Structure 1
Amino acid sequence: MPEPAGSMPELLQVAPGIDRWVMPEATMNAVVIADAGEALVVDPGTLPARAAELRAAIEARGDRVVAVVITHAHWDHCFALAVLDDVPAYAHPATIAELREHGETQREAVLGFSTGATADAVRHLEIVLPGSAVPEPRTLRIGALEVELEPLGPAHTSGDLVIHAPAAGVTIAGDLVETADDPQLDESTEVSGWLRALDRLASHAQPLLVPGHGEPCGHERLAHHRALLEGFASAGT
């Protein structure tokens, strides 16, 4: 999974106070919510070196990282958490349990398709667990912005969490929503729970959705996902 030649990550504005940073591995969207010199990082990503670059970019513009949120327990979203272990890290309780019980299994799986510097980094990184469980909706304040954490799981995984930034009109959906690909299922997926999560997003999410992978989108993507997942459900997947 090498970084494409000539491609350097940068902070890309989604809305005022909201930026995304596309990780070269798995083209995962790390998201930064910032106001009044404070910043919240959602999904620091894949490798410590990548997250260190992101943190340096945040600090270079004068913001201080005060918290991190993990949307779910997949390596491409959270294996770089060690770079931010000096600030509170929030996640669904099931995400914390999944990383505790199966983090090393994920590492071995990643090593099965990684080579070179990426494999070496994955082999030696410390798998850090988020320290603050979010079993119920919780509000954080970043500068003057209120950011709402909402657990919605099991769905894509055993513990999905979405982040609403009402003042910006943005919901960060993790891999409950993707635009770079169709919904991705694995052994931890609960299709019926995912369909319920899509219903919740349709009724309560902000107008602009930031997916785990791909370009920001509107609620029309929810219907696309629903149709595919209903097909999986009817097929007994």
Structure 2
Amino acid sequence: MSITGGDVVDLGTGLYAWLPPKRGWGLANCGLLVSPRGGLWIDTPYDPVLAGQFLVESEKRLPDGATVDRIVVTHANGDHFWGAGVLPDAEIIATREAREHIHYDPTPQQQHALVTQSDPATPLGAYLGRHFGVFDWSATEPVQPTTYFTGELELTLGAYAVEITALPPAHTGGDLIVHLPAQRAVFSGDVIFSSSPEQPGDHPVHWAGPLGNVIAACERVLATGAEVIVPGHGPVLDRAGVHEHIGYLSYVRERAHALHAAGVPPLEAARRVIAEGRYPALGLPERLVVTVGTEYRHLDGGTDMPGVLQVMSQVAAVAHEAEPAMTGGGAE
């Protein structure tokens, strides 16, 4: 079983967004910038099947003889990064800080083994199979950026400027945003997850934090003056949509701080925020386990992130507790 399809949205002036056909874990938005001199990708899909589909759509929009020879990776999570293998000769650009997150995540083949070999009778095995079993990394070799930078980096593609800004730790330790001034657009990566009445999204998940940094990153996106914002996941936004997302992040931050001050343990705090049901249209509420846990870690003065398997076990357990009462809007 695999996921096929995806919408290509023309944002004007040679810029396109590739939006996956559904929502859920691992289904990230990607960008294509086209000029007479070639193309540039902003992020890549999760596995070779989806990345191949994005490549086919990109080639339809490139001038004859032109290729995609650069990829800007907004952060090092695999769903934005691992598909780069379909362009083996492309330059891959990431922040220097992203190097550490690459080592935090499992490799593609390690993740494939974890998903396919976990016991489906357990909450973790069932969760991994349901949400990640549609992807195939069995033959996916790890990819590595070829160009690292700190601070800011400006590229040109033909007549178009591509302004890349590294961020303090937020969604991960190594996030960046891509501003395209001629198109008045920003690709935000996962510092922004979006939703709309027509296209409901999922709860964000933030690994590095703190949430104050995520909010500041959203404000940095707005400070570019861009009118079109392509989030890491969910529908394309306008500026009002970013302000709404900041409101969501501020709510989660306030609740986490209040529950921490009351001495509520982090996992129970996540359960309580989920039970409040403040954003019922969003799927995957169990991901609040990660985000609330991240905020608690900063409030406690901790620096080391827990292991991915430990965190995902807690996420799966909370999702399992809610079944069958919760339909899980982001389920595959």
In structure 2, relative to structure 1, the CA distance for the partners of 1:190 and 1:124 (3 Å cut) is farther
Which residue of the partner structure matches residue 54 of structure 1? 54
Which residue of the partner structure matches residue 189 of structure 1? 209
Structure 2 residue 68 is matched with structure 1 residue 68: no
Which residue of the partner structure matches residue 127 of structure 1? 142
- Any idea what SS the aligned residue of 1:206 has? coil
Structure 1 letter corresponding to 2:56: A
Structure 2 residue 107 is matched with structure 1 residue 104: yes
Q: What CA deviation, in whole Å up to 9, does each residue of 1:1-47 have, x standing for no partner? A: 742xxx62353212221111223574421110111141110111111
Which residue of the partner structure matches residue 168 of structure 2? 153
Structure 1 letter corresponding to 2:111: R
With normalisation by structure 1, the TM-score equals: 0.86
Distance 2:240 2:90 in 1: 35
Structure 1 letter corresponding to 2:227: P
Asked if 1 retains the 8 angstrom alpha-carbon contact of 2:100 and 2:173, the reply is no
% identity of equivalent residues: 24
Structure 2 letter corresponding to 1:11: V
Structure 2 residue 231 is matched with structure 1 residue 227: no
Asked if 1 retains the 8 angstrom alpha-carbon contact of 2:101 and 2:172, the reply is no
In structure 2, relative to structure 1, the CA distance for the partners of 1:74 and 1:110 (3 Å cut) is farther
- Any idea what SS the aligned residue of 1:49 has? helix
Structure 1, gaps ≥5 residues long: none
In structure 2, relative to structure 1, the CA distance for the partners of 1:58 and 1:186 (3 Å cut) is closer
In structure 2, relative to structure 1, the CA distance for the partners of 1:205 and 1:131 (3 Å cut) is farther
Distance 1:54 1:223 in 2: 30
Asked if 1 retains the 8 angstrom alpha-carbon contact of 2:45 and 2:54, the reply is no
**Alpha-carbon shift at residue 128 of structure 1 (Å):** 0.6
More strand by share: 1
Structure 2 residue 17 is matched with structure 1 residue 20: yes
**Alpha-carbon shift at residue 110 of structure 1 (Å):** 5.5
Distance 2:218 2:137 in 1: 32
In structure 2, relative to structure 1, the CA distance for the partners of 1:185 and 1:16 (3 Å cut) is same
Which residue of the partner structure matches residue 152 of structure 2? 137
The Cα RMSD (Å) is 2.5
**Alpha-carbon shift at residue 205 of structure 1 (Å):** 4.4
With normalisation by structure 2, the TM-score equals: 0.63
Distance 2:6 2:218 in 1: 30
Distance 2:238 2:190 in 1: 15
Structure 2 residue 80 is matched with structure 1 residue 77: yes
In structure 2, relative to structure 1, the CA distance for the partners of 1:154 and 1:183 (3 Å cut) is farther
Distance 1:159 1:2 in 2: 29
**Alpha-carbon shift at residue 192 of structure 1 (Å):** 1.5
Moved >6 Å (runs of 4+): none
Structure 2 residue 191 is matched with structure 1 residue 206: no
Q: What CA deviation, in whole Å up to 9, does each residue of 1:27-78 have, x standing for no partner? A: 4211101111411101111111221232233234434112001111222111
Equivalent pairs, count: 233
- Any idea what SS the aligned residue of 1:103 has? coil
Structure 2, gaps ≥5 residues long: 117-124, 196-200, 258-291, 293-332
Structure 2 residue 8 is matched with structure 1 residue 11: yes
Larger Rg: 2
